[in-house]
A and B are shown apart, each in its own frame.
Chain A
Amino acid sequence: MSIHLSILSTSRNWIRRKLFNTWANSVITALIIMALIYFFPKAYMWVVTDAILTIQVDSESWWGYSFVPDSNACIKANGACWDFVAEKFRLIIFGLYPQDQHWRPLVMMITLISLIVYSLDTSRWGFRLGVTWVVAIPMMFFLMQGGVLGLTFVQTDSWGGGPITLILSAVGIVLSFPIAVMLAFGRQSDMLVVKTICIFFIEIIRGVPLITILFMASLMIPLFLPEGININKLLRALIGFTLFSAAYVAEVIRGGLQAVPKGQYEAADSLGLSYWQKTIFIILPQALKLVIPPIMNTFIGLFKDTTLIIIISMYDFLGTVRLGASDPAWRPYYIEGLLFAAIVYFVVCYAMAAYSLHLEAKLDTERR
């Protein structure tokens, strides 16, 4: 009993200290609580109690139920129509990929996500992981495109949804990394010509919006290529996106290069190491370690930026939601689809941000 009382009194103290410590704070707290009491039930009713998500008992389904989306039920409802997400779920995740082949993008996504999660642990970074990535990317491409080993051919135009978002962000970032390292060193170089060209490349790309680069990639690359050579839309977008992210990542790496103490450069020089030995074995490992947390923030930004490819009419995760809402019966419920996409993007970005904080703390203790 006495323990119970002491908890009560500490919580009362806590409330007084944190919510009602001054006259002004008491007013603010009261106002916020009133606003919450007014808005929260309304939001809750819209999202949950008044919302429509039609489920039916179905003994054949693995969990005993199945979704039976009904757009007519939604017309009468006052709340959200989650039936839209249920109806268009496959379209949102896999895009226009042939229905009977959906296992392929699924396998590809699971592999890619596992590979990313596996690569998150910095202690696993090394030559073997690099080789794994180099082998895995073309294999996933062949799995998706087919035409080999009895897999039906699926052209890249009908890829969509999750795989496109994943390919653009993961493959774009992975490919941009070596280019970014070269650009960063080029910009730091003593050689005037190399330095100037690198500065021009980085600053032009950072000075213009991504959408102009994607326009350039989708419209200009066909013009740049000699007659008869054609590359598909996905690859063009991937090239544009890779160059864009390379410029941003390069600037972060340059920050790391500048933060490596000058003594490290001098020590390497006085040991008589060549430029490449110095760069690869002394400077780069230290610089990369310094820039891991800020680079994660850049990656989060790039992941969010993949949504821009819907403007050059490709269907990433956001694009397939839009595609689903182009169905006249479901058009009014685009908002629910967007909210669903918002939750997915938020979860991924927030997880990446949390991971970056974790890395920062870990590297900080290692340095001590």
Chain B
Amino acid sequence: MANAISSFKRTLRIITMNGKEVKAVIFQAAFFFLVAGGAYFLYHNMQVNLERQNIQTGFHYLSLESGFAIGESWISYSPSSSYARAILVGFINTSVVAVLGITLATLIGVFVGVAALSSNWLVSKLTSVYINFLRNLPVLLQIILWYTIVTSPRFLPTVRDFNGENGLEPFLGTIYMTRQGIFMPFFEADIGWLGAAIGLATGIFISIWIRYLSRIRMDKTGQQLPVFWIGTSFILVLPCIGWLLMGAPVGIDYPEMGRFRLSGGATITPEFIAVLFGLTIYASAFIADIVRSGILSVPTGQVEAGRSLGLQEGVIMGRIVLPQALRIIIPPLTSQYLNLTKNSSLAVAVGYPDLVSISNTTLNQTGQAPEAIMIMMIVYLSTSLTTAFFMNWYDKKIQFVER
């Protein structure tokens, strides 16, 4: 009998690797119950507290009338629209400022990053000042500083200053730069301009496609197409065709000076300018440094090899250095893009109606704090994860395939 027990113990010990696995399972179970229990405790307290404050949990408040106005919106919206629509307006505003910011920050960042490697002493010193100064200032401070500058009576006139006989003259006769925003002419709402826009989009798509086809052709036959010229002509010609086909409108909407305010045309609000400038300039300083060190990481032998093949400096940069630098650049660049998107939430500090700002208003009106915060977090989380996923895919695509 004793023999049987000890042999059973031995088998058990072999199965469980000297009890290590059992320990691990017990530890994990304990850890899980601790976390789950803690979460349940917090959740339960929240339920009780909300009930005491007479706040109903759930998302049905989203379909109620919001009752507040929003300064700028890309879709039709009025105070009688629902909370859900208000949040959508905020999400679109966040996306607009984030996409525009990422594009501009990349352009400025690459330009400054390449300039930082210039042999010109003045250029490299100035870029170094740009990079080191701007990335060591909190982005919120920069946004607030820009907002204060573009709304300050000390630097810009107000709309009323343009009024009357002794009023100021707008820039180029049509652009009003005031501390209520920039007012400028814009295309009249007309289907013809839509045709031009569709033409432009098609042109860009076709030129990318041609570039792709010519790559394949070059790999097969070694012949190059004048991709740049073909692409550019498509991008220039197609909008014109679209414009002509849709009736060739000439209507442009100019801002008109009324008694107290300007109407018509397009307006860029000071809030938008402040957020865009702050985000773009802050991120561009980081991107410039990433680009600079990415280029530096390419061995000089590569440049020398290019020169000894008789390639032009531009071709060496575009075809040899940058593609290799890109492999180093992409991962940190991704996190900069994600940072910029997340930092766009600081728009709330200057009143640009982004997702956070509108969710905050919603939260204050309805008291639905858990739901509002959850919506914000889920939107940002899914945006971050999508961006990260896409950039990882791109990163994998351009990585060096080692043979």
Contacts and interface: CB of A to CB of B under 8 A. Distances in A.
Contacts of A151: none
Interface in A161-201: 190-194, 197
Given A212-B345, A212-B373, A318-B140, A224 B42 contact: yes
A22 B356 CA distance: 51
A335 interface: yes
A310 B349 CA distance: 8
Nearest to B380: A208
A335 to B, nearest CB: 5
B174 interface: no
B351 to A, nearest CB: 11
A308 interface: yes
Interface in B13-70: 24, 27-29, 31-32, 35, 42, 45-46, 48-50, 52
A33 B145 CA distance: 27
Contacts of B154: 332, 335
Interface residues of B, number: 54
A350 interface: yes
A21 interface: yes
Contacts of A25: 118-120
Majority SS of interface residues in chain A? helix
A346 B133 contact: yes
Contacts of A146: none
Contacts of B32: 193, 197
B58 to A, nearest CB: 15
A18 B120 contact: yes
A212 B377 contact: yes
B356 A211 contact: yes
A345 B45 contact: no
Interface in A186-227: 190-194, 197, 204, 206-212, 215-216, 219-220, 222-227
Contacts of B28: 191-194
A209 B343 contact: yes
Interface in B361-391: 363, 369-370, 373, 376-377, 380-381, 384-385
Interface in A320-354: 322, 332, 334-335, 338-339, 341-342, 345-346, 349-350, 353
A339 B149 CA distance: 11
Contacts of A300: 136
B138 interface: yes
Interface in A3-61: 18-19, 21-22, 25, 28-29, 32-33
Interface stretch (B121-129, B185-193, B223-231, B395-403): B121-129
Contacts of A216: 373, 377
Given A29-B122, A304-B139, A208 B381 contact: yes
B160 interface: no
A223 B373 contact: no
B31 A211 contact: no
A19 B27 CA distance: 67
B133 A28 contact: no
Contact of B136 (A207, A222, A310, A346): A346
Contacts of A209: 342-343, 345-346, 356, 380
Contacts of B24: 190-191
- Range, interface on chain A: 35 or more
A21 B360 CA distance: 57
Interface in B238-271: none
B345 A227 contact: no
Interface string B167-203: 0000000000000000000000000000000000000
A335 B149 contact: yes
B385 A32 contact: no
Task: Name, among A208, A222, A346, the residue most crowded by chain B CB atoms within 10 Å (CB to CB).
Answer: A208
A72 to B, nearest CB: 15
Contacts of A304: 136-139
A310 B28 CA distance: 40
B318 interface: no
B148 interface: yes
A191 B27 contact: yes
A32 B122 CA distance: 8
Contacts of B123: 28, 32
B152 interface: yes
B121 A353 contact: no
A305 interface: yes
Contact of A353 (B118, B136, B377): B136
A304 B348 CA distance: 17
Contacts of A210: 342
Contacts of B126: 32
A208 B376 contact: yes
A263 to B, nearest CB: 22
Contacts of B380: 207-209, 212
Nearest to A352: B136
B7 interface: no
B299 interface: no
A119 interface: no
Nearest to B31: A194
A235 interface: no
B320 interface: no
A66 interface: no
A335 B140 CA distance: 14
B141 interface: yes
B119 A197 contact: no
A305 B369 contact: no
Contacts of B120: 18-19, 21, 25, 28-29
Contact of B48 (A21, A191, A227, A342): A227
Nearest to A303: B138
Nearest to A219: B369
> Which 3 residue pairs across A and B have the least CB separation, nearest first?
A349-B136, A18-B121, A209-B345
23 contacts: A18-B119, A21-B119, A32-B123, A197-B35, A208-B377, A209-B346, A211-B346, A212-B377, A215-B360, A219-B363, A227-B45, A307-B140, A308-B140, A310-B349, A311-B348, A318-B141, A332-B154, A335-B154, A338-B141, A341-B141, A342-B137, A345-B136, A349-B136
Given A19-B121, A318-B140, 6 more contacts: A18-B120, A22-B119, A32-B126, A215-B356, A227-B49, A335-B152
